[in-house]
C-alpha cells in the first residue's frame, strides 16, 4: 500500500509547538511580527500571501501585507525594505518571489537584514546553512526535512535525487540533505534543465524530490518500485470539469507514480502547508533572537 504523506498533521504539530513560545514572548511584552511585501498581482503569489497572513492571524503573530504595483521601481522597493528593516514591529520580512520583470531578486535578498531574513535567502544565511551553522533555513526545504522526520523517513546513506536547482528549493534542499547529521547524511544528485538522460538519474533514486515547476514531468517510467516521492510542484492547469476551469497539480504524475511509490506527497495538501508552518517558526525565532 502506498502511504500518502499529508502535510497537515506535520504543519499542525509545528504550529502547536509555536503556541507556547509565542505566549512566552507575549509575557515578555513582545508580539512576533512579519511583514510580507507583494509586488504586482501574480495570482499564485496573491494566494500564497493570503495564506501566510491567515497563518499569522491564527497564531497571534502580527502581520502586515504591503502591496506595491507591478511597475514599482527598484529604488522604491529598496526604500520600502529599508523602512521595514528599521521598523521594530517586524521581526521578519518576506518579499514574495517571483518579482515582476525588471526587478532584481538578487538585490532584494541582500537588502533584507540577515536577522530579519525569515526566508533564509540572504547570502549570509545561505553561507551559514552550507557550513551547518544554525540559521534561518529556507522554508520549503526545511519543511521537507521536518516532514521526513515526522514520517520517519531516514535519508542517511540513501540516494536522494532532486529535480530542479532553484535558490528557493533545489539548491538549499541538496545542501541540507548532504549535511553530516543523523537526519541528513544522504548521497545527493541534483538534476536540472541541462541534465542529460534525466530518467537514468531519477531511476536511481531511493527518495525523489521534484521541484522543477513542470506539471506532471515525473512519469511512471522514471521511478523505481518502492521509491519515496516528495512533490514540491504547485502548477495550475486547465481542467474543464473543475468549477473555475483549472486545478492544481504537482510536478509528478500522481495517479500513475503513486502506484509504484512506497510513499508520496499529494498536491495540494503536501509540502505547501509545510512552507507556511516553517515561515511561522522562523518568524517566532527571529522575535526570540531579539531578547537574546
Binding region for ligand GUN (CB under 6 A): 94-97, 119, 139-140, 168, 275
Q: Determine which one of 15, 80, 116, 119 is catalytic.
A: 119
Q: Catalytic: 52?
A: yes
CB of 98 to ligand GUN, least distance (A): 7
Residues 6+ apart with CB under 8 A from 248: 234, 235, 236, 237, 267, 268
CB of 120 to ligand GUN, least distance (A): 9
For ligand GUN, which is the closer residue by CB, 136 or 254?
A: 136
CB of 2 to ligand GUN, least distance (A): 27
CB of 83 to ligand GUN, least distance (A): 18
For ligand GUN, which is the closer residue by CB, 168 or 188?
A: 168
For ligand GUN, which is the closer residue by CB, 186 or 271?
A: 271
Residue nearest to ligand GUN (CB): 97
Q: Determine which one of 52, 80, 116, 146 is catalytic.
A: 52
Q: Catalytic: 96?
A: yes
Q: Determine which one of 15, 80, 96, 251 is catalytic.
A: 96
Q: Catalytic: 119?
A: yes
For ligand GUN, which is the closer residue by CB, 97 or 130?
A: 97
For ligand GUN, which is the closer residue by CB, 51 or 187?
A: 51
> Which positions are annotated as active-site residues?
52, 96, 119
Amino acid at each position: 500500500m502506498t502511504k500518502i504523506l499529508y502535510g497537515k498533521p506535520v504543519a499542525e504539530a509545528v504550529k502547536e509547538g509555536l503556541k507556547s513560545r509565542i505566549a512566552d514572548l507575549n509575557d515578555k511584552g513582545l508580539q512576533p511580527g512579519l511583514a510580507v511585501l507583494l509586488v504586482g498581482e501574480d495570482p499564485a503569489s496573491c494566494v500564497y500571501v493570503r495564506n501566510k497572513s491567515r497563518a499569522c492571524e491564527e497564531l497571534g503573530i502580527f502581520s502586515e501585507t504591503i502591496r506595491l504595483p507591478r511597475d514599482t521601481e527598484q529604488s522604491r522597493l529598496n526604500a520600502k525594505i529599508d523602512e521595514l528593516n528599521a521598523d521594530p514591529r517586524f521581526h521578519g520580512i518576506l518579499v514574495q518571489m517571483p518579482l515582476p520583470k525588471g526587478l532584481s531578486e538578487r538585490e532584494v535578498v541582500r537588502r533584507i537584514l540577515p536577522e530579519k531574513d525569515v526566508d533564509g535567502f540572504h547570502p549570509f544565511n545561505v553561507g551559514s546553512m552550507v557550513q551547518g551553522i544554525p540559521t534561518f533555513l529556507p522554508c520549503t526545504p526545511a519543511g521537507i526535512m521536518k516532514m521526513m522526520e515526522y514520517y520517519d523517513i531516514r535519508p542517511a546513506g540513501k540516494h536522494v535525487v532532486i529535480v530542479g536547482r532553484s535558490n528557493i528549493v533545489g539548491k538549499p534542499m541538496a545542501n541540507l540533505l548532504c549535511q553530516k547529521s543523523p537526519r541528513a547524511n544522504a548521497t545527493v544528485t541534483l538534476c536540472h534543465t541541462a541534465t542529460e538522460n534525466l530518467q537514468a538519474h531519477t531511476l536511481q533514486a531511493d527518495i525523489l524530490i521534484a521541484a522543477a515547476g513542470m506539471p506532471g514531468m515525473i512519469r511512471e517510467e522514471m521511478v523505481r518500485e518502492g521509491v519515496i516521492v516528495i512533490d514540491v510542484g504547485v502548477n495550475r492547469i486547465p481542467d474543464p470539469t473543475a468549477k473555475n476551469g483549472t486545478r492544481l497539480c504537482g510536478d509528478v504524475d500522481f495517479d500513475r507514480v503513486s502506484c509504484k511509490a512506497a510513499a508520496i506527497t499529494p498536491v495540494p495538501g503536501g509540502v505547501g502547508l509545510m512552507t507556511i508552518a516553517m515561515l511561522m517558526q522562523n518568524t517566532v525565532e527571529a522575535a526570540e533572537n531579539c531578547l537574546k
